[in-house]
Structure 1
Amino acid sequence: MPALTPPTERVQASFLAAMAEFQAEGRGDRQDHTMVGTEIRRYAATWHRPEAFARYVADLRAQALPDTPRPAGWAPDTTLWWVDGDEYLGRISVRHRLTPQLREVGGHIGYDVRPTARRRGHATAMLRAALPVAHRLAIDPALVTCDVDNLASRRVIERNGGVLADERAGKLRFWVPTGRP
């Protein structure tokens, strides 16, 4: 049964396979400003080495700490991986606060499901499992965005109680309650 887990070295092999799937669909080029795209550009050349992958995992975990150095304008974020046994299926990131950029494009929560695991309900379940994490960070409601033409992501957000607020710069902005009864 899939579950959210902090990033872990034990799924390195399936993580690498997932990143190859993302790259095969064109992710990671200079125009890809998503979490996955940015990390492919930054880490892909070294992920295959166990010690480098361990550093990457440690770096992801450290991003949740408020004192961790980060680029100007970036917020602390808690990254969790959606894993079934040793199989990496996706990731979700809960940003602890909104920056001006995140308020427009990105919101509090962003997620990706590896291509071969899509259309199986993983994104919906992953977002549902992450909402209590956001609530514990005093985020309620959470801003979650998606591209205007990304109907699958829109359904994921709406299935988790998301209410459409507006559209800005080709992104739909939803407010999702995190404190469920």
Structure 2
Amino acid sequence: MPDLIAPAARLHTAWLDAHAEWGPGVHEDGFGLLATDEVESPAGFAAWVARLAGEPACTYRWIVEDDQVLGGIALRHGSGEFVRWAGHIGYGVRPSARRRGLAAWALGRMLDEARALGMDRVLLVCAADNVASVKTIERHGGVLEGVRDTALGPARRYWINVAA
């Protein structure tokens, strides 16, 4: 059974395995990884995990099962420019763990977190051709606002009401 946990330095090797599976040049949504983060060394990885834990405007969680990192999900609390572009919630599941419902499960848990934070609704954005994310978002009540052209290609924008 998977669990949703705060990023943990003890999972360095497991996270590197997931990272390698994504392959070079692929963006891993939900992990908050920046080009300036050095994650190969234990010290660099620990510093990155500490940065994520100290981020006041975002809650990061990893999808973990049997000490294997299967994916990540981020809940951005604000409404700034990045949130307007990328959405309040971003997630990614490593290729070998896809098609198990993990993204839908994790999204449901993060919608509960958003509700607990007092958020009324959240924006989710995905590539227009990402059928798996479209189904995941719509399964949780996502209402399509529209499709916009972005630097990364067309993106679908959904709103989910989370008010209690």
Are residue 97 (structure 1) and residue 81 (structure 2) matched? no
TM-score by length of 1: 0.80
Q: Partner residue of 1:72?
A: none
Q: Partner residue of 1:118?
A: 98
Q: Partner residue of 2:126?
A: 146
Residue from 46, 52, 66 that aligns with 1:85: 66
Q: State the Cα distance separating 1:101 from its structure 2 match.
A: 3.9
Are residue 22 (structure 1) and residue 22 (structure 2) matched? yes
Q: Which has the higher strand share?
A: 2
Is residue 77–residue 88 contact of structure 2 (8 Å, CA) maintained in 1?
yes
What is the RMSD computed on CA atoms of the aligned residues? 2.0
Q: Partner residue of 2:35?
A: 41
Match of 2:19, SS? helix
Is residue 77–residue 96 contact of structure 1 (8 Å, CA) maintained in 2?
yes
The ranges of structure 1 where at least 4 consecutive aligned residues each deviate by more than 6 angstroms after the TM superposition are: none
Letter in 2 for 1:157: I
Is residue 10–residue 86 contact of structure 1 (8 Å, CA) maintained in 2?
no
Q: State the Cα distance separating 1:59 from its structure 2 match.
A: 0.6
Q: Alignment length, in residue pairs?
A: 160
- In structure 2, list runs of 5 or more residues that go unmatched: none
Letter in 2 for 1:42: T
Q: State the Cα distance separating 1:131 from its structure 2 match.
A: 0.6
In 2, Cα distance between the equivalents of 1:140 and 1:4? 22
In 2, Cα distance between the equivalents of 1:10 and 1:2? 17
- In structure 1, list runs of 5 or more residues that go unmatched: 66-75
Spell out, residue by residue over 1:22-51, the C-alpha distance to the aligned partner (whole angstroms, 9 max, x if none). Answer: 125x415xxx9x565x726323xx423222
Match of 1:81, SS? strand
Are residue 176 (structure 1) and residue 160 (structure 2) matched? yes
Spell out, residue by residue over 1:137-172, the C-alpha distance to the aligned partner (whole angstroms, 9 max, x if none). Answer: 222211111111111100010111111111122111
Q: State the Cα distance separating 1:177 from its structure 2 match.
A: 2.3
Letter in 2 for 1:57: V
Spell out, residue by residue over 1:43-96, the C-alpha distance to the aligned partner (whole angstroms, 9 max, x if none). Answer: 3xx423222211111111111x2xxxxxxxxxx211111111311011111001
In 2, Cα distance between the equivalents of 1:98 and 1:171? 18
